[in-house]
Chain A
Amino acid sequence: MIITREWLKEWIDISKISTEEICKTLNDIGLEVDSVQTIRIPANVVIGKVLTCNKHPDADKLNVCEVDLGNEVKQIVCGAKNVAQGQYVAVSKVGAILPNGLEIKEAKLRGVASSGMICSSSELGLPAMEDGIMVFDSSIGKLVLGKELCEYPLINDDIIEIELTANRGDCLSIHGVARDLSVPFDLDINALEIKEEEDNQLGIGRVLNVVAHEKVDGSFLFKVYDKKEIKSPFLVDLRLAFADLYKKDPLDRVLQYATYATGVLLRAYSHNCFTTQQEKATVRIKKHTNGLDAVFGSNSQMLSFVGISQIDECKATCEDERVVLEANYTHPKIISQNSANKKIDSDKHLYRSSRGSEPDLDFGMNYFLNVLKEKSNVMIYAGTQQVLQDIHETHITINLEELALMIGEEIDKNTIIKILQRLGFGVSFKNEQNIMHVKVPTCRHDILNEQDVCEEIVRIVGIDNIRSKPLVFAERNKINSAYESFKKRQMYRYKAVGVGFYETLHFVFDDLSRIEKYGLKTVYKKRELSNPITQELNTLRTSLIPNLLDSASRNLKFGKKSIRLFETGIVFDRSRDESLKLGFIFSGDVESEKISNHGKPAQIDFFTFAQKISSIIGDFELEKGVVTDNLSSPYEFARVMIGEEEVGFISRVHLEIERELDLPRTYICELDVNKLPYGRKQAHMYSKFQLSSRDLSLMVPKTLEFGILKNFILAQAPQELLKIYPIDIYESEEFGENISLTLKLQFQSLEKTLEDEEINKIIEDLLFNIKEKFGITIR
């Protein structure tokens, strides 16, 4: 909503208050100021009158004008189409410097001398209006030839843009904002001057009849005029241009202006739309089947949805001989309820009507007629035709003690009364001094209860003026499962960072065609997003990996060689149920180039990657698994097992995807956060005796999985065999179908230090058993 300082002055006397102060106050009372623009016309631009206007002898598009500047007459060549004799215009004299930096100098245009320039609005830093030069009238003040334009305050205005919250329909007009501002400034609002209707006018009844169905919700007021000439005052045009509402048609301009100034919804219909043959027109107002009030013309044609739209054919223009004017009001709740989710074309009225337009129809109509009559010549029929509904009055009872508890401090009772009265509330006390009865002004649809009234008081007093107070509350343990889940997640995040991964965030959306290509699950069709924002984000993600792959690929293009990313985030299953996952990606070099690796860092490999994951989540076992999607290589894929539970997978990215995304060797891991351990660990008995170890090189068939061998050994060996792990693999042609696998075996007893003979005996048994089972021998 754009307001201007001078426009506000129509209603309140703010001449002694600076624009800065006005803006601060607007912010304080909840009308947030977005921007302030100061219009100042430069010096040496004056009012002139075009005395003569003749075609340039050598240029079709130019005119040579004699312009009276008060104490001198200048010859000025002007290129504007609309220049004409008798106009009052803005003349930049020689020496003027225009806002765009242009300096006006003596000039010759096609051989004709020109001393000065007749200006358009944009040349002077004003918003664009009609094509061509500005033509003034007395609406900007008395036109004095030669007077500097910068001395006309109505033109040199301060334009303030405010952002209105959805509840403040009452401030969608200049009058409304002035009314709100009048409270903190403690100023009176000027009443609208109502001009007496002239005597001997024909009555409206001769030309208009209004028939309203009884179920209609809205209130209506109609007037009719016969046109002689319609013109809009220059100031109206200028201010509409300030508010970015300039219209081509002068009648439309005056209508827009009156609505903008008063908040009353106004429409103008061509009288013909309501007549058949006779002179008298009938306006019919009925409920449309969709529940909205609608205005119907002749032949039952629907002309407008009240508060929403009007068909173009019946919109009156300055050319119409006879025009029906309508002011209307409908409660915003009725408008919103009936218009929501129905595809009805709407114009600017809906924004106002759904937030609450001004219900005082007389006020809007009278203001409109005042402005119209300023420069137009019209015959207005006497009287009005009206359809009025009772406007519901809201009464609220307020306990002043409760009010003080709500605010946190007591506001002086007289201050409260004064604020409410200034805001247009009726205030009364009956028996008890602490119980206040207020009647809400009809324009404040948003005020329904005690807290709404509290807000009015608080915003005028100023929230900044309320003293802050700490809340005293009872002790209570707040550690719940959500807190533990936060701490758990935080722990894993920080561990991941410690191992060298960067935390990332991605949208929970994904591209359906991509995840289908990757062979991942997709959300059931009937639970799919119905209004995605783009093709690439048209479904919910069912895995963290695709987005991580995307980011890895992007980083590669930025020249990164070692890409280590992770994310903790929600993914969805087919039924759209949510679960928290922890996803990792490691792509390219295992570390940066440095002296220790002679500038040639190794590429990430399965075991290094798994080691890093283990540094984050602790001990786990890897088991072979079957790949169910197209993301992982089937030859480097493992299920991550903690105890008996599968918590996720580790794998290399499928070579096809690596190639498609131009990725170097890349590994991924996705884990279910809920299945990861968190919390207390139990210590178990440990031996106080010497630990012994032996290395054992075995000839093992290439086809035998180490996991099977290891499990077999652990199952066979006595508990003195503490640990067994591979430390070297050696392959040679002479081994045939075997490899040499070196294992380290650690022995320890809880009761004593083991003798060499005892260890040798265990190994002997073990070698016997694996020879029996697998045919494995010592190398």
Chain B
Amino acid sequence: MKKIIKSVNSCESLKELEAIRVSLFGKKGYFAAEFAKMKSLSDEERKDFAQNLNRDKEDFLTLLNNKKLELEAEAIAYEMKKDGVDVTLFNKDSNAGAIHPVMDTMDKIIEYFVAMNFSIEEGPLVEDDFHNFEALNLPKYHPARDMQDTFYFEDGMLLRTHTSPVQIRTMLKQKPPIRMICPGAVFRRDYDLTHTPMFHQVEGLVVEEAGKVSFANLKFILEDFLKYMFGDVQVRFRPSFFPFTEPSTEVDISCIFCKGEGCRVCSHTGWLEVLGSGYVDPNVFKAVGYENVSGYAFGLGVERFAMLLHKIPDLRSLFEGDLRLLEQFR
């Protein structure tokens, strides 16, 4: 018996194991022979004999079964091993693409305002003087027009210098209450290290009945938005001037690189200017024929946000399809 147990334990293949099983349980096997012996025994003896034999049979079955499971598992492991690979041979230089950081930033900005129940509005890139300037309280002689060097066409049309004309178009098309953003490309005749002739803005406008919208409401949404975009930053409001808002404010965040200590990016001021905004000037409402309304507006440069958020050093590289930059955003 011990010999058989030993041979089961040292068995190396399912085939060998099957041979052992046949030698034990086959028609001519050990147990068949042993049970045959019972015929010649007395009733007394037979009972004991049968009991022992059945116990042995059970033990062997268990032994064989366990060994079988073991060998099967080994066989599967062997198969898998054969197909195994050195995972470190993986070339991470994959074939994936990437979303452009400016467009990604734009998507994030849009997501925030959509979640705040703003609608998205669109307008043409080629605009006329009325929508781009006149209706925005920027009459022809206004010195603030200098701030925006404009591309003109032979027929007097122009490339929009900001997304603000979409405010005018939307107000002319819809009735208050209005709660909109306009994302899109804008154009200024300026091309150097920190300026490109095309860049992107997201502009926002909220108009409700008179007395409903306050400057404090503007503060709330911009603080909340900037914290959504930049995380735990301090937000500072500085009075400023835009022809289409009054009061106007420029919004700074504490420098995200030096935490307000002062560094090269923030020109050692500890603050980064990120937004312009204000309470809509009554002349703008007048231009679109709105009466008894109140509202706020804001605008931001998407490239500026993207460069700050992703630490992109060079503005121009954003428009050159430069894979050395883009591959980093996989």
Contact = CB atoms under 8 A, between A and B. Distances in A.
B29 interface: no
B154 A451 contact: no
B155 A468 contact: no
A554 B93 CA distance: 20
B201 interface: no
Given A166-B146, A464-B236, A548-B321, A406 B326 contact: no
Interface string B256-267: 000000000001
Contacts of B87: none
B220 to A, nearest CB: 4
B321 A463 contact: no
B247 A591 contact: no
Contacts of A35: 267
Interface string A470-482: 1101111011101
B126 A578 contact: yes
B129 to A, nearest CB: 12
A506 B140 contact: no
B201 to A, nearest CB: 14
Contact of B237 (A464, A527, A591): A464
Contacts of A409: 214, 216
B247 A534 contact: no
Contact of A165 (B103, B120, B214, B241): B241
Interface stretch (A93-101, A452-460, A513-521, A618-626): A452-460
A674 interface: no
Contacts of A452: 246
A451 B279 contact: yes
B3 interface: no
A449 B100 contact: no
Contacts of A501: 97
B126 A455 contact: no
Interface string A321-333: 0000000000011
A554 B325 CA distance: 13
Interface string A552-571: 10110010101111110010
A502 B327 contact: yes
Contacts of A467: 216, 219
A505 B241 contact: no
Contact of B326 (A333, A479, A502): A502
Given A473-B177, A483-B114, A508 B185 contact: yes
A336 B141 contact: yes
B147 to A, nearest CB: 7
Contacts of B254: none
Nearest to A509: B197
Interface in A322-377: 332-333, 336-337, 339-341, 354-355
A531 interface: yes
B93 A506 contact: no
Contacts of A469: 214, 216-217, 219-220
Interface size class of B (residues with CB under 8 A): 35 or more
A92 to B, nearest CB: 30
A551 B248 contact: no
Interface stretch (B12-20, B48-56, B64-72, B205-213): B205-213
A263 to B, nearest CB: 16
A191 interface: no
A493 B215 contact: no
Contacts of A592: 91, 93-95
A348 B119 CA distance: 46
A165 B144 CA distance: 8
Contact of B185 (A167, A529, A570): A570
Nearest to A501: B97
Interface in B226-256: 236-241, 243, 246-250
Contacts of B183: 486
Contact of A471 (B94, B96, B153, B213): B213
A470 B319 contact: no
B69 to A, nearest CB: 37
Given A471-B213, A482-B121, A533-B191, 8 more contacts: A407-B216, A409-B216, A493-B99, A505-B319, A509-B197, A551-B322, A555-B321, A578-B125
List of 10 A-B pairs having minimum Cβ-Cβ separation, nearest first: A408-B216, A551-B321, A408-B214, A30-B239, A165-B241, A455-B247, A459-B239, A336-B141, A463-B237, A504-B321
15 contacts: A336-B141, A463-B239, A471-B208, A471-B213, A473-B179, A478-B114, A502-B98, A505-B319, A507-B196, A530-B154, A531-B189, A533-B189, A547-B321, A548-B321, A570-B125
